[in-house]
Chain A
Amino acid sequence: MIRIEPRLSPSKIMVYGAPLLAVGLTLVAGALLFGALGYSPTRSMYLFFIAPISDSYGLTELFLKATPLTLCAVGLAVGFRGNVWNIGAEGQLTMGAIAAGAIAVTWHDSTSFLLLPIMMMAGVLGGLAWAAIPAFLKTRFHANEILTSLMLTYVASLFLGYLVNGPLRNPEGFNFPESRMFGDAGLMPLLVEGSRLHIGALIALFIVLLAWLIMSRTLIGFQIKVVGLTPLAAHYAGFSPKKIIWMSLLLGGGLAGLAGMFEVAGPIGQLQPVISPGYGFTAIIVAFLGRLHPVGILCAALLVALSYLGGETVQMELSLPLAVTGVFQGMLLFFLLACDVLINFRFVLGSKRKAVP
């Protein structure tokens, strides 16, 4: 019989080992799944994980997809650390895109270099405002932020649908539910010619470093951690949980809004009924996979971005549904949660009690 026993102190190896183990287990389970469906496990795994990044264009696509994931996940992770469960990043991303998009559409013939910074600010504010609603409802009425932030995601995507079908629809677009294309001044400058990778990736990198510094070195980061770990101790220290709720929701919302702006001003270039393949939800996985640590999140975002590319590749090559990506992401998170147990517990062989005559 195997049983679980608490460790005397958390295993340092497992803090880093558990995510790697989870990735390994996901690969094995994925191979088995493909095998069970009648595809060659090695070929499909190659197509899923290696083929997409075997050329430089693939790499730029990887960084492009990792950008919104990183931004959303860094913001969410700060909240999760503080026990604030914002799971509405998808909606905040959408509202950021809407706010930035509305400006780009309104001044579509502007050539001012100020347009892009203004759009970024609008994106941040849009996401921030949307996240302020659950923050207000939580601090004022104790309404569960998980449910409110999620409900607002549905509202945001319906709002986007309304806009591209109505007020923001392209007047010259043959009634397609899309806005007009943004002007050149409203598009993110590219990092690599011939790719879609834009300077948003660098901004995301900078934000990762900033978040790392804040979380590990400042009193604010310390406060968030204390509030998340032991709310009573936070009261003792004089840290205000309400402040933390506001701060982490606004931060998460602002970063998600920025990610939304990057999407519409980057690869998409206009407002469409759907602007994110679930980045805001997937960012939850990224946040956990990255140990809620900004640098870990960066690595996790690259891995998860790969699962998006891999899903597209197997869709083209094996005509498997794109939903494979979701299955992989779900499995990854499950295995990670399970492997995390090894940090504080260990498995022991043998029976708990000796036989009594």
Chain B
Amino acid sequence: MSPEHLRLELQGITKKFPACIANDQVNFEVKPGEIHALLGENGAGKSTLVKMIYGIMQPDAGQIRWEGKNVQIDNPAMARKLGIGMVFQHFSLFESMSVLENVALGINEKGPLKDLAKRIIEVSEKYGLPLDPMRHIHTLSVGERQRVEIVRCLLQDPRLIIMDEPTSVLTPQEVDKLFVTLRSLREEGCSILYISHKLDEIKALCDRATILRAGKVVGYCDPSQESARSMAQMMVGEEIKIPAKKEGVQAGDDCLVVNNLSMSSGDVFVADLDSVSFSVKSGEIFGIAGVAGNGQNNLLSILAGERLCPDDRSILMNGRSIAHLGPQKRRKLGLAFVPEERLGHGTVPEMSLADNTVLSGHGVSDLVQMGWLRFSKAHALAKKIIEAFDVRTGGSKSEAKSLSGGNLQKFIIGRELLKNPKLLIVAQPTWGVDAGAAAAIHQALMDLRDQGCAILVVSQDLDELFAISDRIAVISNGRLSPARPSHDMSVEQVGLLMGGMFDQVDEWDEDAQR
């Protein structure tokens, strides 16, 4: 390998799917020892592109050059042999198996496991990523799981590491640590292909950036020379009107009160809830931040009534206990819920949009009468939602799974909003949604709050929570921190809380008061 060769070069890479062209004539290059950003919105084709570099998919046309030579990467083992490693966004780990087994499965060499365990400890210590090879994956936190993936890459002395949205599951402090590791790898001459849509991270870390939009390269830039705004414009293509933050003016009485709620998750792999208390007032947006897997799903399903809580005093809505009520009865009291999983939780993928209005509308509207479905009403309602919330779809007969993520999310939020709820619970309102739809959703939530609805937003996206919430609390390992007004909180504080350092934040406050 001579230094003048580019590490990786893509020429005219094209990948077509039946529904769309994921990548269209993509060209870009990665130099030795640089951190190269691949920047683009959800659905821009970033993941497809890196899957082809790692040999999981094959391009329909185009050429990949590795260190000056044309290569055809048939499978991940071949990519690893060339010196390419990958850290997946949704980790490629096996929950019930040990760290050691997971690493052994993901590397090419087939030596004895005992030696491998030693090397795992060596490498993980060298890069400040401590790991116990014998622990099982399901006992690890999300951050630790990512470490397993990184160490697995590093064990093969890679010359290019692909990282797909690595920070979306980390606390701000963990992100800082990750960046230290990545920079030291760069010093050693390793190249990193860093995929993200978070502009501030890319400005802080990356040497160069390639920007993808709708499968095409729309520009290259030096992130340090660009403003976040200019990069955003390239990424999105049009100016997005980001709704101006406006705090709720007249927060009213407590609408939802959660008192000392403790409950087992019923699943060995998921954190139990441990005396969670908070309240959401009418006319405010209450945000709950936290890294995925810290008890959010459990909390949400208990609040929505999908799981019932035996303690009758633990959940009150407008002063009356709802702990023993199922989802249907809670809806009748004015509670609406938008779950995180759009397809397969908030909607039935194989059913039409009209049928999907019945899913949360039976019993609270006139879609069902004496046990009989009224199809014309359901279609009318679906059409009304499609119009009011600018849902791009073939019509009320379209299957839910045929909609894009953003449009389906607008449909679901629209469906719940049209019920004029008194309390709205939303999980990850803009996860995987394009910027235009995200802005529309944020605006709709703030409008609803201004009409006096109490809104609970559970999200991993701190930017989102700071942009719309009036108060924020943080969930960590099943415990919820005390809530504070969002303008009184810093990203660093939230980060510490996300890591479970509830005490440190208090000390910090005391320091600040002195």
Contacts and interface: CB of A to CB of B under 8 A. Distances in A.
Do A and B pair up? The answer is yes
Interface of A: 5-9, 217-220, 222, 225-226, 229-230, 232-233, 235-238, 240, 352-354, 356-357
B492 interface: no
Contacts of B360: 236-237
B391 interface: no
Contacts of A226: 348, 351, 359
B337 A219 contact: no
B341 A232 contact: yes
Given A222-B373, A352-B58, A237 B362 contact: yes
A191 B60 CA distance: 65
Interface in B55-101: 58-61, 63, 70, 72
Given A222-B358, A236-B306, A238-B326, A229 B348 contact: yes
A233 B350 contact: no
A232 B307 CA distance: 12
Contacts of A235: 301, 306, 327, 345
Given A233-B345, A354-B60, 10 more contacts: A5-B18, A9-B402, A219-B368, A222-B358, A232-B341, A235-B301, A237-B327, A238-B327, A352-B58, A352-B60
A218 B348 contact: no
Nearest to B330: A238
Nearest to A352: B58
Contacts of B372: 217-219
B512 interface: no
A7 to B, nearest CB: 7
A255 B441 CA distance: 49
A238 B322 CA distance: 14
Contacts of B363: 238
Contacts of B306: 235-236, 238
A78 to B, nearest CB: 16
Nearest to A227: B348
The 4 closest A-B CB pairs, nearest first, are A238-B327, A238-B328, A235-B306, A232-B345
B215 interface: no
Nearest to A213: B372
A7 B301 CA distance: 34
Contacts of A353: 58-60
B53 interface: no
A230 B348 CA distance: 6
Interface residues of B, number: 41
B354 to A, nearest CB: 12
Contacts of A356: 63, 70, 72
Contacts of B402: 8-9
12 contacts: A8-B18, A9-B399, A217-B373, A218-B373, A222-B358, A222-B362, A222-B373, A229-B350, A233-B346, A236-B360, A353-B58, A357-B70
Nearest to B345: A232
Nearest to A216: B373
Contacts of A352: 58, 60
A226 B349 CA distance: 10
B296 to A, nearest CB: 15
B151 to A, nearest CB: 33
A332 to B, nearest CB: 25
B347 interface: yes
Nearest to A357: B70
A191 B17 CA distance: 58
B305 interface: yes
A233 B348 contact: yes
A8 B402 CA distance: 8
Nearest to A348: B18
A235 B363 CA distance: 15
B473 interface: no
B304 interface: yes
Contacts of B345: 230, 232-233, 235-236
A353 to B, nearest CB: 5
B181 to A, nearest CB: 35
B147 to A, nearest CB: 30
Interface in B319-357: 326-329, 331, 337, 339, 341, 344-351, 355
B268 interface: no
B344 A354 contact: no
B102 to A, nearest CB: 27
A6 B72 contact: no
B266 interface: no
A17 to B, nearest CB: 19
